[in-house]
Amino acid sequence: VIGSVLHLLPDAGGHWLSACLALTAAAVPLDFLMDIAAVGAVVTPSLLEVGSQYGLTPIASAMSVAMATSLVFLPYQAAPFMVALSYRQVPLRQMVGAMFLLSSLSLFLLCPLNVLYWRITGLI
């Protein structure tokens, strides 16, 4: 399994930023298939091994997976949003639009900044 995951991921070229973001990118598609809590439980052990192949510490690998599990594009991905949706105070279209926009901005802006912050503070 680990070999197939490594084969699908882009080559990080030994760079810590690319390696962390590649692990995040590997976990994001699974967010659409199951609850985000389940994604963390299912993929973290495998991606810790992949991270070690990239030369990352287990902490850096785990934090990269955690970033992916914080991205909620659709309400069904996290139970609290389904509860909020059941109150019918916000239309589904509006909620999905806001969630998709915020998660996209987080993925493309905040995730790279987060990895840089980890590097500056010495976490990775």
Is residue 85 within 8 A of residue 96, CB to CB? The reply is no
Rounded to an integer, what distance in angstroms lies between the CA atom of residue 122 and that of residue 124? Answer: 5
3-state secondary structure of 46: helix
Domain edges within the chain: 2-121
Place of tokens 């967010």: 31
Q: What is the model's pLDDT at position 39?
A: 85
Residue 69 makes CB contacts below 8 A (sequence gap 6+) with 27, 31, 36, 37, 39, 40
Quick one: pLDDT band at residue 2, thresholds 50, 70, 90? very low
The pTM assigned to this predicted structure is 0.76
| pLDDT above 70 as % of the chain | 89
Question: How is residue 64 annotated by DSSP?
Answer: H
Segment 30-46 mean pLDDT: 85
Q: Is it the case that residue 6 has pLDDT exceeding 80?
A: no
Is residue 43 within 8 A of residue 65, CB to CB? The reply is yes
Rounded to an integer, what distance in angstroms lies between the CA atom of residue 45 and that of residue 25? Answer: 16
